Amino acid sequence: MASVPVERSDDVQVAGEKSPDDSFVEDAKQREIQALDEDAVYSRPEQRKIIHRIDRRLITTTGAMYCVSLMDRTNLPNAAIAGMNVELDLNVGFRYSTIALVFFITYTLCQPPATILCRKIGPRPFLAAICLAWGIVMIGFGFPSDWVVMIPLRLLLGIFEAGFFPGCVYLISTYYSRYDMQKRYAVFYMIGSLASACSGILAYGIQQMHGLAGYWGWRWIFIIEGVLTCVIAIIGYIYLVPFPDQLEKKKQWPPFLSSEEIAFVIRRINKDRSDAEAEEFNFRKWIACGKDPKVWAFALVFFCLTTMAYAISYFLPIILRANMGFSIAESQCLVAPPYAFAGILMVCIAWVGDKYHIRGPLLAANALLGLTGLPIMGFAPTAGARYFGVFLVCASANASIPTAMAYQANNIRGIGGVAGSLIFRSQDSPHYRPGLYAGMACNGLIILIVIINTIYFRRENRKADQEGKVLEDSPSFRYTI
């Protein structure tokens, strides 16, 4: 993946004339980008080659591991319609929703300490070890004879998966400048989304093993996908890389970057935001972040996004079966096209976001897409029209996540999965009206938060450029709109 050269422009063409204040801010930002792309050792083509090499090694490896992560946490609906609901009697009350929900209790609680452990232990051993651990747990899902046994297994899965997504996001952020991040996040998340796109088709194929060794087909879905996860974990251990400042101190096998190339990465990050060298962990500073209202605003955006993303991933095959009348095979296979569309939109939005240095307006536009899709999905008279609404809703939620990751990293995103696992309840079948209304509320809230943030960020950037106000303890820092 090519890095963005100096010729990229931050000047977004809009109707009407720009104020002198806006032009001043844009000129300052353009000078900052030009300085970032200048290096005393490497020319711009050489810089691009180094960044390409990082892309191939880092994004591909973390993306492949995230693929099995997403597949393992969201394969419940495929197993449900393949016979799990029948054999374990999960159609009674809140049993299915409870199994889906409990994962996010440990997933949310364990994320903050897991991120700290990732920094202390190093991403290579830490991420590979937890991936292997949840793969073993996933194999265990194939053997319960009582639905209650699924609850501790889902709790264990949440513990082991908790550190993976934030660990990968943190690792990726240490190698790229702010305006190179969104495209990388998009590709990372898109590779992971392939799991959601293909999991139904894969599950349908594995389901054909029904009866082998006396096991139902849904059990083989968990067993085979768990074995696949363990294999990916071993490969991941070989190809994962340390943080740049750790890589500088020890050699990596297979070879990754030379000492001079590592120094270039660190120089570039320090020019961009002065944080290539990680500070020692300070509990008081960590807790103090909770006093910043921006952190909660970003967390609320992620809550709304993940509520819809997880609601779709956990219930889409069931909705296709119960609400739209598709067969089991059709319900599993028709999951793929909406996620493929979301992946295409995700990459396009990431390109626009990094080129023009905007985040909030893209989130708001995607939220409008979701507000359009939800009524179509819920109230259109034909199954085909409702399925079209699924495309819009799926794209709205999933294509926004890399944008929100670039907008502001936060460490309480997992809570949205709790709401998502309850938004489409069994007793609301086949129309799921309360879930549709909740989804509309989430999208409306995203738009409101983006508007408030945009007004605030513009005002603070103007103060920094004209009055010398220091933002986020860095004189060169400016908020991304």
Say what the pLDDT of residue 324 is.
Answer: 85
Model's pTM, two decimal places? Answer: 0.78
User: In this predicted model, what pLDDT tens digit does every residue of 28-77 receive, in sequence order?
Assistant: 555 555 667 788 889 989 999 999 999 999 999 999 999 999 888 778 88
Confidence of residue 8 (pLDDT cuts 50, 70, 90): very low
User: In this predicted model, what pLDDT tens digit does every residue of 207-231 receive, in sequence order?
Assistant: 999 999 999 999 999 999 999 999 9
Q: Is 350 exposed, middle or buried (0-12, 13-18, 19+ CB in 10 A)?
A: buried
Query: Per CATH, which fold does 48-277 belong to?
Result: Growth Hormone; Chain: A; (1.20.1250)
**Residue 474 β-bridge partners:** 471
d(CA 66, CA 423): 24
Q: Do domains 48-277 and 285-481 have the same CATH topology?
A: yes
Residue type, 348: C
User: In this predicted model, what pLDDT tens digit does every residue of 223-256 receive, in sequence order?
Assistant: 999 999 999 999 999 999 999 988 877 777 778 8
pLDDT of 369 > 70? The answer is yes
Out of 13-17, 238-242, 322-326, pick the least confident.
Answer: 13-17
The residue to which tokens 């264990």 are assigned: 156
Per domain, the residue ranges of the chain are 48-277, 285-481
> What letter would DSSP give residue 228?
H
Confidence of residue 479 (pLDDT cuts 50, 70, 90): confident
Say what the pLDDT of residue 9 is.
Answer: 37
pLDDT of 312 > 70? The answer is yes
Say what the pLDDT of residue 74 is.
Answer: 77
Confidence of residue 454 (pLDDT cuts 50, 70, 90): confident
Residue scoring higher pLDDT (364 or 11) = 364
Say what the pLDDT of residue 307 is.
Answer: 84
Which letter, b or e, does each residue of 433-466 get, where b requires 16 or more Cβ atoms within 10 Å of its Cβ?
Answer: eebbebbbebbeebbebbeebbeebeeebbebbe
How many CA atoms, within 13 angstroms, populate the side-chain half-sphere of residue 231?
7
Query: Per CATH, which fold does 285-481 belong to?
Result: Growth Hormone; Chain: A; (1.20.1250)
Name the percent of the chain lying above pLDDT 90. Answer: 36
User: In this predicted model, what pLDDT tens digit does every residue of 93-128 receive, in sequence order?
Assistant: 789 888 988 998 999 889 888 988 998 999 999 999
Out of 133-142, 223-232, 269-278, 351-360, pick the least confident.
Answer: 269-278
Residue scoring higher pLDDT (443 or 14) = 443
> What letter would DSSP give residue 176?
S
pLDDT of 430 > 60? The answer is no
